[in-house]
């Protein structure tokens, strides 16, 4: 029954993109957090979460994403999201994440704007 | 508009991690069978996941089971999907729904389930008492 989340990272000049594949629940959220905090330790202060490979999330997983957003605000970094399904985007708006982390429709737009 | 029950399926799920995925798969299959749009099916899936997680986390049910009933309503054609997520836990007062907890200066971290369900479904009703809680939610086709 297990739905695992795969996380991959693309390190670029001044920006790292985290790609997810699968269900973002508590374990999935922790995997993303682990990748994000490792990138912060490496000196990256601008992160983009590309959720194109994620079709379902739950509120526990999202609460971990909120912790990452809080950490990014603390260090005056930037975290953005892109490629969300309409339902995930709607859920992020219900939970107020969009106030603290921008949501972009695609990765190219996100990369261009998040570094601006 | 009459709302006869055209089809009904009930799952009895053990309260174990990721049982919500099984419920969401059944929700998807039934919603697809009545030709609900993909975006609306996604909303139903997410709402079912949240209702199951709420039962898992907050019901303190002694039988450790969640019962999820799916009803296709309409006459003669399917018009609506009704989903009931029931536990035999301690219940809560629906008038005092748990508020999401967390730092007041930041988005609140936990307790979002019912708010998300209300935001994604067309109709939501909570029945709760000493013998448990049932979340009844509907989505038009």
> Within an 8 Å CB–CB cutoff, is residue B45 touching chain A?
yes
Per-residue pLDDT of A45-90, as tens digits, reads: 999 999 999 999 999 999 999 999 999 999 999 999 999 999 999 9
Q: Which member of A1, A59, A88 has the closest CB to residue B50? A: A59
**What confidence score (pLDDT) does residue A15 get?**
96
Sheet holding A15-21, edge to edge: A6-12, A15-21, A46-53, A78-82, A103-104
> Any idea which residue has 């019912």 for tokens?
B114
Per-residue pLDDT of B44-102, as tens digits, reads: 999 999 999 999 988 888 899 999 999 999 999 999 999 999 999 988 876 665 555 55
Among residues 64-123 of chain B, which lie with CB inside 8 Å of chain A?
Answer: 102-103, 106-110, 112-113, 115-116, 119-120
Helix H, strand E, coil C: the string for A15-83 is: EEEEEEECCECHHHHHHHHHHHHHHHHCCCCEEEEEEEECCCECHHHHHHHHHHHHHHHHCCCEEEEEC
CB contact under 8 A, A56 and B24: yes
Give the nearest chain B residue to A97 (CA atoms): B107
pTM, 2 dp: 0.90
Q: What is the average pLDDT score of chain B?
A: 89
Please state whether beta strands B132-140 and B78-87 pair in parallel, antiparallel, or not at all (unpaired): antiparallel
Residues of chain B with C-beta less than 8 angstroms from the C-beta of A71: none
Query: What sign does the CA torsion over A24, A29, A30, A32 have?
Result: positive
**If pLDDT is split at 50, 70 and 90, which confidence band does B104 have?**
very low
**What confidence score (pLDDT) does residue B110 get?**
54
């Amino acid at each position: 029954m297990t739905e695992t989340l795969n996380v991959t990272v693309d390190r670029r000049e001044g920006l790292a993109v985290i790609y997810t594949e699968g269900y973002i629940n508590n374990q999935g959220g922790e995997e993303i957090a682990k990748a994000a905090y490792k990138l912060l330790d490496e000196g990256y202060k601008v992160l983009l979460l590309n959720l194109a490979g994620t079709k379902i999330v739950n509120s526990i997983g999202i609460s971990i994403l909120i912790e990452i957003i809080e950490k990014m605000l603390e260090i005056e970094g930037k975290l953005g999201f892109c490629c969300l399904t309409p339902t995930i985007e709607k859920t992020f708006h219900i939970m107020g994440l969009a106030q603290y982390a921008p949501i972009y429709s695609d990765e190219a737009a996100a990369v261009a704007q998040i570094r601006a | 508009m009459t709302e006869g029950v055209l089809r009904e399926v009930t799952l009895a799920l053990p309260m174990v991690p990721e049982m919500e995925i099984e419920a969401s798969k059944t929700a998807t299959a039934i919603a697809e069978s009545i030709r609900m749009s993909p975006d609306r099916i996604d909303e139903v899936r997410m709402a079912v996941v949240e209702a199951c997680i709420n039962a898992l986390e907050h019901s303190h049910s002694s039988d450790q089971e969640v019962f999820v009933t799916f009803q296709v309503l309409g006459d003669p054609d399917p018009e609506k999907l009704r989903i009931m997520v029931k536990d035999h836990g301690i219940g809560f007062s629906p008038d005092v729904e748990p508020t999401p907890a967390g730092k007041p200066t930041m988005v609140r971290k936990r307790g979002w389930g019912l708010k998300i369900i209300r935001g994604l479904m067309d109709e939501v009703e909570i029945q709760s008492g000493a013998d448990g809680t049932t979340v009844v939610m509907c989505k038009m086709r």
